[in-house]
A and B are shown apart, each in its own frame.
Chain A
Amino acid sequence: MSFDNVYEALTGDGDARWAFGTGFTDPLAGVETAVPPGVDRADLTAYCLMLGDDALVMSHRLQEWCTNAPDLEEEVALANIALDLLGQARLLYARAGHADGTGRGEDHYAFFRGEEEFAGVRLVETPRGDFGDLIAKLLVFSTWRLALLQRLIPSRDPVLAAIAAKGVKEVAYHRDHAARWTVRLGDGTDESHRRMQAGLDRIWPLVAELFTPHEAEVRSARSGVGADPADLRAEFDAVLDQVLTAATLRRPDVPPDPGGRRGLHTGALGLLLAELQSVARAHPEATW
Chain B
Amino acid sequence: MNDLYEVFVRGKRGLNHVHVGSLHASDDEMALRNARDLYTRRNEGVSIWVVKASHITASSPDEKDPFFAPSADKVYRHPTFYDIPDDVPHM
Chain A interface residues toward B at CB < 8 A: 1-6, 9, 16, 19-24, 71-74, 76-77, 80, 176-177, 180, 184
Q: A4–B44 Cα gap in the complex (Å)?
A: 18
List chain A residues, Cβ under 8 A from B15: 6
Contact assessment for B23 and A20 in the assembled complex, using a CB-CB cutoff below 8 Å: no
For B13, give its contact among A3, A9, A80 (CB under 8 Å). Answer: A9
Contact assessment for A73 and B89 in the assembled complex, using a CB-CB cutoff below 8 Å: no
Contact assessment for A3 and B86 in the assembled complex, using a CB-CB cutoff below 8 Å: yes
Query: Known contacts being A6-B13, A6-B15, is A80 close to B41, with CB within 8 Å?
Result: yes
Tell me the smallest distance from the CB of A286 to a CB of chain B, in Å.
27
Q: A1–B87 Cα gap in the complex (Å)?
A: 9
Q: Is B19 part of the contact surface with A, judged by Cβ < 8 Å?
A: no
Tell me the smallest distance from the CB of A112 to a CB of chain B, in Å.
30
Chain B residue nearest to A20 in the complex (CB): B44
Query: Known contacts being A4-B89, A20-B42, A20-B44, is A73 close to B14, with CB within 8 Å?
Result: no
List chain B residues, Cβ under 8 A from A180: 29-30, 33
Q: Could you show 14 A-B contacts with beta carbons less than 8 Å apart?
A: A5-B89, A5-B90, A6-B90, A20-B11, A20-B45, A21-B43, A21-B44, A22-B12, A24-B43, A73-B23, A73-B38, A74-B34, A76-B41, A180-B30
Q: Is B24 part of the contact surface with A, judged by Cβ < 8 Å?
A: yes
For A77, give its contact among B33, B44, B87 (CB under 8 Å). Answer: B33
Tell me the smallest distance from the CB of B29 to a CB of chain A, in Å.
7
Q: Is B75 part of the contact surface with A, judged by Cβ < 8 Å?
A: no
Q: A4–B12 Cα gap in the complex (Å)?
A: 12
List CB contacts (< 8 Å) of B41-65 with chain A.
41-45
Q: Is B73 part of the contact surface with A, judged by Cβ < 8 Å?
A: no
Tell me the smallest distance from the CB of B55 to a CB of chain A, in Å.
19
Q: A79–B89 Cα gap in the complex (Å)?
A: 40
List chain A residues, Cβ under 8 A from B44: 20-21
Pairs A-B, 7 closest by C-beta atoms = A20-B44, A3-B89, A21-B42, A77-B37, A73-B34, A9-B13, A20-B11
